[in-house]
Structures are given as structure tokens and as C-alpha cells.
Amino acid sequence: MASVTVLPAVQEVPRFVGGGRISIGERPVPEPRIGELLLEVRANALCGTERDQLATGSDVTPGYEAAGVVVATGPATSTAIGARGVVYLMDFCGACRSCARGATNQCLAKRADRGFTHDGGYGVYELISERQFFPVGPDLDLAEATLLLDVMGTTGHAIARARLIREDIESVVVAGAGPVGLGVVAMARLLLGPDVPVLVGEIVPYRLELAASFGAQPVDLREATLAEGIRSAGLSGGADVAIDTSGRSSARRGLLDAIGKRGVLVCVGHGEELLLDVSSDLIGPERAVLGSEYFRFDELPANLALLLAHRAELTPIITHRLPVAELHAAFAVFLSGETGKVVVER
């Protein structure tokens, strides 16, 4: 039987109207149907992929890195009211060939991407499928819980993709020291060990310093190429793994030039193209170029254990926490480039 707490009929939500403007509007508070949960959102992390929604507008309420508390449940659900957790971006079907193998990020019958096709986490309440909800327990700060999503989930999955091809990873180079790039640094040190050097190429001084604080070897791309940075670090044969978080053609090309024989380039950031010569870039050195999209739902339990065990190393990736009422200001500081992860809270 459905269980519902007393809720308002409408909620105030931010409306991304285009031109970098955010107004306030109203939407009904939805009632969960079969298999659905209603979440009262307590924290949502900003992401660069929302830049387009800010610029061109959005018909739905954005926000896809949400954490909150279950306040109402629909029929045929087992989650208790009061459960605290995070929202997996994709409403995966759970039954297709991909889902049956755990590849929920490649669901063949995906029903929604929260914050992009359906209302997301910048509103007061968010309606989700129960299968999208991952509980985190009573003790984890919900702003910190958002680290389980892009910062840990997307980056850990990218590293796992690289390990499918290259088991003996002894060096990593990253393009971009934004929140995902910082996540790569942190997760590489946790998953591959602190002795594996991680080089990060970036042009923003603030982010170069932040990457260094997490143990990365910064490469100032205003002064050197990634390949030159690799050589300066003593990796004369090139890096084993490269991860692009920027989505820029120039960064991808620079990473490909910076990896050695049997090297793997993993593209995480959506965006521009990569032009390559198949013979010299791939066949001769037996390199691989992989895509990595978000992460699998079944990766969340291990990442939660990592977060709980290594909060001191991971939580400094969140550099700014603002009230959701200051969402426009949060985007302004985030898009300045002088932040790590920015989280708005309610």
C-alpha cells in the first residue's frame, strides 16, 4: 500500500529560461505511482553539462546529482519513508540485455535522465523510480553523498574501463582539473595505489594548485604540452592510461600523443571530435580509445565503502556549499573555473 506524508500541493522550482538567467516558478508536487518514490532534495551538485541548459533554457527542472530523503512512496515499493540516499541519473529498465549484465548505464529501454528529460534535483521535491534510489544510511552528510555520483562514480567507471584493456597501469594522465578531473586523481590513487603517478593538464592556476593538493603532478598547459609533461616526469615511454574530462579535441589529441605503446585513452567528457591516424595512432602501438558513459548502478556499494573509509581524502573536492536559493550565484562561481565541486543545499 502507498504511504504518503502530508505534502504541499505545489513547490517553488528554479526555471532555466536561457541567456544565463534563472527565475522562480511553481510546479505541482507529484504523487508517486507504482514503483516510484518522492524525494525531498537536500543537496544537489552542479555540473558543467548544465551549462547548455543555463544558456538555452530547459523545459524541465535541471539537477542530476541529487541527494535527499524519501518523503512518500508509491505502491509496490519497499523503501521506507525517511530513507536517505542519492539519485542515479538514469531510469533504467532493469530487464533488457544490458541491465541483465549490470550495464545499467547502457540500458536499451531507458525511460528518463533526471534533470534532462524529466524534472531533477534543483526543485524541493523530485519524483524518481525506486530502482534509481541508492540509500546511504543515516550518518553520511548528504552534500558529501553527492560525491558518489559524477566525482566517484563516473571517474571510477572510467578507470575500470581502462583496466579492461590495460591491467598493468603504472601511470595516468588526465586532461582537465575540474571536479571530474579531480575525481579521477582521487579515485586513481585509491584504486591504483598512491605510488602510481597521476599527471593533470590544465590552464587555470587555481585548479592546477587544487589538483596538486590531491597528489597530482600538475602540467600547466600554457607552458607545456601533455607529452612534454610526461617526459619531464620521467615517463619517457609515455603514460599507460589517459583520461579526457574536457571534451575538447585538442585535449584528446594531446592525450593520445602522451600515451605509450599499449596505452589506453578513455573519453569521459562529452563534446568535440577526435581525429586520428588508424595506423600510427592505433594499430602500430596497439593503443585503444574507449568511451565511458556515467557508471553502473552496481558500482555504488563499493564506492560508498570507499567514501566512508576515505572521507578525508575525498570531501575536499567539494570546495563550495551554497543555499539552493543562491543557485544563480553558485553557477557564477562554478563557471568562473575557480572551484572544485559546488553543491547547493536546502
What CATH code is carried by the domain that includes residue 238? Answer: 3.40.50.720
Domain boundary among 266, 291, 316: 291
Q: What's the total number of domains in the chain?
A: 2
330 inside domain? no
- Helices and strands, counts by H and E, the chain: 11, 16
User: Which neighbouring-strand residues pair with 26?
Assistant: 12
**Listed residues 111, 139, 167: the one ending a domain:** 139
% the chain with pLDDT above 70: 99
Structural domain boundaries enclosing 88? 3-139
Minimal CA–CA distance to 294: which of 160, 127, 140, 108? Answer: 160
Dihedral sign from CA coordinates of 330, 199, 88, 142: negative
- Angle at which helix 179-192 crosses helix 205-213, to 10 degrees, equals 20
The mean per-residue pLDDT over the stretch 93-119 comes to 98
Per-residue pLDDT, 5: 64
Q: 3 or 297, which is more confident?
A: 297
Q: Which backbone phi and psi does 98 adopt, to 5 degrees?
A: -65, -50
Nearest to 327 by CA among 182, 84, 121: 121
> Over the stretch 168-224, which tens digit does the pLDDT of each residue have?
999 999 999 999 999 999 999 999 999 999 999 999 999 999 999 999 999 999 999
**Three-state secondary-structure class, residue 244:** strand
Q: Do residues 242 and 270 share a domain?
A: yes
pLDDT, position 236:
85
Q: What is the mean pLDDT of the chain?
A: 96
Q: Is the pLDDT reported for residue 114 higher than 90?
A: yes
Residue 272 CB contacts under 8 Å (≥ 6 apart), including other chains: 247, 248, 249, 252
- Is the Cβ–Cβ distance between 200 and 211 less than 8 Å? yes
State the SS3 of 291-326. Answer: ECCCCCHHHHHHHHHHHHHCHHHHHHHEEEEEEHHH
Whether the per-residue pLDDT at 10 is higher than 90: the answer is yes
Residue 4 reports pLDDT greater than 90: no
Q: State the residue for C-alpha cell 536546502.
A: 346
Residue 220 lies in a domain: yes
Is the Cβ–Cβ distance between 184 and 269 less than 8 Å?
no
CA 259 to chain centre: 24
Q: Which amino acid is at 175?
A: A
Average pLDDT value for residue range 230-239? 93
Please, what is the end-to-end C-alpha distance for the chain in angstroms? 29
Side-chain-side CA neighbours of residue 341 (13 Å): 27
CB neighbours of 160 closer than 8 A, spacing ≥ 6? 299
What average pLDDT does this structure show over 7-34? 97
- Could you tell me the pLDDT band of residue 265, with boundaries at 50, 70 and 90? very high
Looking at the fold, whether 199 and 123 belong to one and the same domain comes out as no
Q: Is the pLDDT of residue 1 over 50?
A: no
110 in the same domain as 180: no
Q: Looking at the structure, tell me whether residues 26 and 93 fall in a common domain.
A: yes
Residue 191 pLDDT: 97
181 and 104 in a common domain? no
Segment 32-61 mean pLDDT: 97
Looking at residue 6, its pLDDT comes to 83
> Is 326 among the domain residues?
no
Which candidate, 241, 34, 65, 43, places its Cα nearest to that of 152? 65
> Which of these three, 74, 107, 139, is where a domain ends?
139
253 has pLDDT over 70 = yes
For residue 343, what is its C-alpha cell?
A: 553543491
**Are residues 113 and 184 both part of a single domain?**
no
CA dist., res. 172 & res. 179, Å (int): 17
pLDDT of residue 195: 96
Domain annotation covers residue 182: yes
Evaluate whether 315 touches 293 at the Cβ level (below 8 Å): no
Q: How confident is the model at residue 3 (pLDDT cuts 50, 70, 90)?
A: very low
Tell me the average pLDDT across 97-116: 98
